[in-house]
Structure 1
Amino acid sequence: MGRLTVEQAAREAGSGGRSATALNLSHRALSDVSCLSSFNNLERLDLGYNCLVTLESLSSCANLKWLSVIENKLVSLKGVEGLSKLQVLNAGKNKLTKMDEVTSLTSLGALILNDNNISSICKLDRLQQLNTLVLSRNPVFAIGNALTKAKSMKKLSLSHCQIEVIGSSLAGCVELKELRLSHNKISTIPTDLAKNVKILNLDLGNNLIERSSDLKVLSELHYLRNLNLQGNPVSEKDSLSKKVKKFVPTLRILNAKPLEATSKSDKSSRKEDPLSQAKDTNYHDPNEVGTKKKNKRNQSKQELKDPKEFEVQRISTGVTTSNPDKPEVLDLKERKKGKKEAKRKKSEELEHADNSNLKKKDDKSRAYDTSRKDKKEAKRKKLMDEEDIDDEGVDNTEMSFADLMFSKVDNPETKLKDSSTREAAPDAKFAGGLVIDHTKKRNKPKGIVTITDPAALKMFSKVPELGAGVLGLSGWDE
């Protein structure tokens, strides 16, 4: 395209025309953009991947906040000095040899100048809001005092440069969180790096650091998470990860690998090192732990008086010690097995109890039935005895009929009450309206009148023939 015209720029701006605030003119092979001086409202401008050699035509774009001129043919940044509102400037991959023009950009927050020919860093004292500076792949030999007042600096990249010494050049960057200094000629880690206590990512790979003592300063970086020392002589030592972990307990990534993967050998060596075991309170000898557990189990078994009690406790609760405050819990499989066994035993106990209750009930029922049967049998025998009365009963000719039927009324022992309330003598029994005395006729009872009338005796002798025992009283009524 070469030269940019107003009409072309307005067409690219769309409906905004010359009042547009954003314009993308990248990849257009532009070499002249002087017409943009009439676009006073521009805030965002992308001129990347063109053929620009100067930026002087942009001096009138005072409202620019974001400018990208990456991969052009710029030999200087002349023209940006008046862009006081500029916050982001990306001029990487050009042919710049210096960067002095940016010292007046007081609002600048990010300055990207990678892949240029800049050999020195100008003082950036006025750039109080600068938080990102990328100068990688530039022939910078020293940082010097360019960043002594860069208190807002958070990201600094000086990789693939020619830096040999860091010294105290970064001591003022107290907010620094990411520092990239790989592929330089740095031979030592300065002690002043301890002032950058907020560093999270530190890349010192492919330098000349060889002394392990230099790693001590890392212990001051309490927030360090990612460290790269690969390509340094010190990284070839087997004890590197061990020492780094010792100095930086918060570290998560070492030489682009998770620290857990790199510290496996350290764990095995720690088991063999009594000194490290003593210092590491989290370390416990597995053999010692197993011995303690075994002793506790044996002690618990001894404390229990009955071994069966211990077994029931172990199976049902899954606890192998008698101390409930510090139980040793069995594994899940054994606990399940123990619970199942305890449940089975409980079921057997309940079944046994039910059987016992049933047996008791049966015994009680049988006893009741036996008692009832015995009573019936006794009653039957008694009735049989009464039916088979010989000379002692009704068939006894010595006992007069009057003794049976007409007892003297004035005798209190044989007095007959009302038919519904008649009482029997102690040795007598009611048989309807008849009182039968079962005692032998030894002595004639007092108060009993003996009837000797032959007619009565004749009547008495006929009673067995008419009656049917004590239950056959109808014959007596004839």
Structure 2
Amino acid sequence: MTTKSLTVEEVLKEKKTHDLDSVKELNLGHRALTDVSCLSKFKNLEKLDLRFNNLTDLQGLKSCLNLKWLSVVDNKLQSLSGIEGLTKLTVLNAGKNKLKSMNEISSLVNLCALILNDNEISSICKLDQLKDLNSLVLSRNPISEIGDSLSKLKKLTKVSLSDCRIKAIGSSLKSCSDLKELRLAHNEIKALPAELALNKRLLNLDVGNNMIMSLSGLEVLGTLSCLRNLNIRGNPISDNEKSAKKVRKLLPSSVNVFNAKPLEKSSKNAKHVRFDTEDVTFDSRLSKSAEEEEEESKVERKTKKSSKRNKSEEEEEEADNEGGKSKKKKKSKSNPDIDQVQVEKKEEDAAEKKQKRASPKKLIDAIDDAETSMAEVFSRGDVSKDSGDVVEKNKKRSSVQETGVVRVVDTHKKKKTGNKQQSKSAVAELPGEVEIGLGGESKWE
């Protein structure tokens, strides 16, 4: 392998400065570097990215005492020797190397995130001094047990030990009272310990592809009242639907994603939905009956009116035969109130027809008017069904133009409130957690 050393001149030229003390951040990734010892002269360096190089050791960083963030992902490191004195480090990512030990980490007292996935580490060293550590990623290392290495880490919130050789968790996490995310997929775990009940704040748990065979190995799940996302796929207990149903009954009500699928609403809620639907149908039947009664009333009034007219004509004819004396008398018996009601009714019908014809135009004008808000358009009482579809299409189109993302907008109230829609909303509640439950590579860095 050819050696490639970094020089001070190269760094200063890249940063366009002659002052070594002014350099606080460097991105030196993808350069095939084998030696970075010149960086010891940059005393104020705080952030350093050395990913995808050919480094075999970190002795050249021994004097960078102000470093707070360091990434040496995908190099050829066999040891972390040289970083023991970098006590200001808060983030260290040394994943995808050939590390066999992590003992040099124990002195980094300010470390908050430690990522050492895809190495050859067989045991976790004592991390008692790392009081502020909140994220620990050791996936794809031949680690067989956790032991008591995490017993003093009370601020730990995320732990990934997927694809290791762990056979049991035991009481190794009982002190991690703030733990929210635990990944233990692709191991040899046969049961979840009762001590897991002490992790009351646990939100996401992945124990997929282990060796859990019986329901008793999962009983502790019922005590995790904050659990939202659980994966047990790939275990013998999840081989058939009957066993999966038993596990679902065991889960706390807080769980909304099980085996990477949103849980359906309970049958109780489903019955409630059906009851509401029946009520709506019943109301529509009542409404229909009222309309029919009103129509019958109109017909009855018209019949009476026609009857009165016929009677009046007969009387007038009689009066003419008698010499016309009773003609005025019969006309005077005509009811002015009934005539007035009929006139008003005709005027109302005419106004209603006019309003219906005008409604679509008013709605279109409102949509075309840039100063009219969509909320105002929807609040109008004269929006027809066809016009409502126009509004919905325009609203969706506007949403896409503004955000670049298609958003599902429900403009029809109290419709399609079944389990399918609830499932969609459940998925929407979990942004950024796609890899949870899948045992994927960590993105916590």
| TM bracket, shorter-chain basis | 0.5 to 0.7
Structure-1 residue corresponding to 2:10: 8
* Equivalent position amino acid for 2:300 in 1: E
Q: Cα gap change, 1:67/1:282 in structure 2, threshold over 3 Å: closer, same or farther? A: closer
Contact 1:136 1:157 in 2 (8 A): yes
Q: Bigger shift: 13-22 or 120-129?
A: 13-22
Residue 107 of structure 2 is aligned to residue 112 of structure 1: no
Q: Secondary structure at the match of 1:215?
A: helix
- What secondary structure sits across from 1:373 in the alignment? coil
Match for residue 373 of structure 1?
324
Q: Aligned to 1:70, which of 67, 70, 73?
A: 73
CA contact (8 A) 1:201 1:226 kept: yes
RMSD: 3.1
Q: CA deviation at 1:182?
A: 1.2
User: Which residue number in structure 1 is paired with residue 306 of structure 2?
Assistant: 355
In the alignment, the residues of structure 1 paired with residue 304 and residue 152 of structure 2 have an alpha-carbon distance, to the nearest angstrom, of 90
Q: CA separation in 2, counterparts of 1:285 and 1:76?
A: 62
1:15 to partner: Cα distance: 4.5
Match of 2:31 among 28, 33, 38: 28
Structure 2 distance, partners of 1:154, 1:236, is 31
Please point out which of 257, 263, 282 is paired with 1:330: 282
Where do residues 309-320 of structure 1 align in structure 2 (5 Å cutoff)? none
Checking the alignment, whether the CA contact within 8 Å between 1:27 and 1:48 is kept in structure 2 is: yes
User: Which consecutive unaligned segments of at least 5 residues does structure 1 have?
Assistant: 268-279, 291-318, 320-326, 377-478
Q: Confirm or deny that 1:220 pairs with 2:223.
A: yes
More divergent stretch after superposition (195-204 vs 56-65): 56-65
Structure 2 match to 1:344: 295
1:53-110 deviations in whole A, cap 9, x for unaligned? 2212212222222110011121221222222221110001112121122222222111
Retained in 2: the 8 A contact 1:11–1:17? no
Q: Which amino acid aligns with 1:258?
A: P
Matched residue, 1:252 = 256
**Inter-partner Cα distance in structure 2 for 1:15 and 1:352:** 102
Greater C-alpha Rg:
1
- 1:360 Cα offset (Å): 6.3
SS of 1:37's equivalent in the other structure is helix
Match of 1:125 in 2: 128
Per the alignment, residue 467 of structure 1 pairs with: none
Alignment check: 8 A CA contact 2:190 2:213 kept: yes
Once residues 101 and 37 of structure 2 are traced to their aligned partners in structure 1, the CA distance between those partners, rounded to angstroms, is 23
Show the counterpart of 1:391: none
Q: Does the C-alpha gap of structure 1 residues 171 and 6 become closer, same or farther in structure 2, counting only changes over 3 Å?
A: same
2:100 to 86, 97, 100: 97
State yes or no: 1:206 paired with 2:157: no
Which residue in the other structure is 1:154 paired with?
Answer: 157
Aligned counterparts of 1:241 and 1:259: Cα–Cα separation in 2: 12
Report how far residue 190 of structure 1 moved.
0.5
1:87–1:107 CA contact under 8 A, matched in 2: yes
Q: Contact (CA 8 Å) 2:37, 2:60: kept in 1 or not?
A: yes
What CA deviation, in whole Å up to 9, does each residue of 1:350-371 have, x standing for no partner? 3234335545655676676666
Q: 1:149 to 1:360 in 2, by over 3 A?
A: farther
Change in Cα spacing, 1:145 to 1:285, as seen in structure 2 (3 Å) is: closer
**Paired residue type of 1:349:** E
Which whole-Å CA distance do the structure 1 matches of 2:13 and 2:131 have between them? 38
Q: Is 1:54 aligned to 2:6, yes or no? A: no
Residue 170 of structure 1 deviates from its aligned partner by 0.5
**In structure 1, what residue type is equivalent to 2:250?**
F
> 2:301 is aligned with what amino acid?
L
> Structure 2-normalised TM-score?
0.65
TM-score, scaled to structure 1: 0.61
Q: Which moved more, 1:367-376 or 1:112-121?
A: 367-376
SS of aligned partner of 1:133? strand
Aligned mates of 2:326, 2:164 — CA distance in 1 = 123
Q: 1: CA distance between counterparts of 2:186 and 2:100?
A: 21
Partner of 2:437: none
State the partner residue of 1:311.
none
Give the 5 Å matches for 1:410-425: none
Structure-2 residue corresponding to 1:80: 83
Conserved 8 A contact 1:74-1:94: yes
Higher relative CO (CA 8 A, sep ≥ 6), structure 1 or 2? 2
Distance 2:185 2:193 in 1: 15
Aligned-residue sequence identity (percent) comes to 50
SS at match of 2:230: strand
SS state at 1:130 partner: coil
Name the CA distance, whole Å, in 2 between partners of 1:53 and 1:8.
Answer: 21
Equivalent residues, number: 321
- Can you list the C-alpha shifts for 1:457-478, whole angstroms capped at 9, x where unaligned? xxxxxxxxxxxxxxxxxxxxxx
Does the 8 A contact of 2:32 with 2:52 survive in 1? yes
SS at match of 1:67: strand
Q: Shift of the alpha carbon at 1:5?
A: 0.6
Kindly indicate whether the alpha-carbon contact (under 8 Å) linking 2:237 and 2:244 is maintained by their aligned counterparts in 1: no
Distance 1:365 1:62, change over 3 A: farther
Residues 13 and 22, structure 1, Cα contact 8 Å, conserved in 2: no
2:40 is equivalent to residue 40 of structure 1 = no
Which of 64-73 and 245-254 deviates more?
245-254
Q: Distance in 2 between matches of 1:107 and 1:167?
A: 28
Partner of 1:134: 137
- SS of the residue aligned with 2:241? coil
Q: Deviations over 1:17-47 (max 9, x none)?
A: 5222211111111111111111122221111
Q: Per the alignment, do residues 360 and 15 of structure 1 end up closer, same or farther by CA in structure 2, a change over 3 Å counting?
A: farther
Secondary structure of 1:231 counterpart = coil
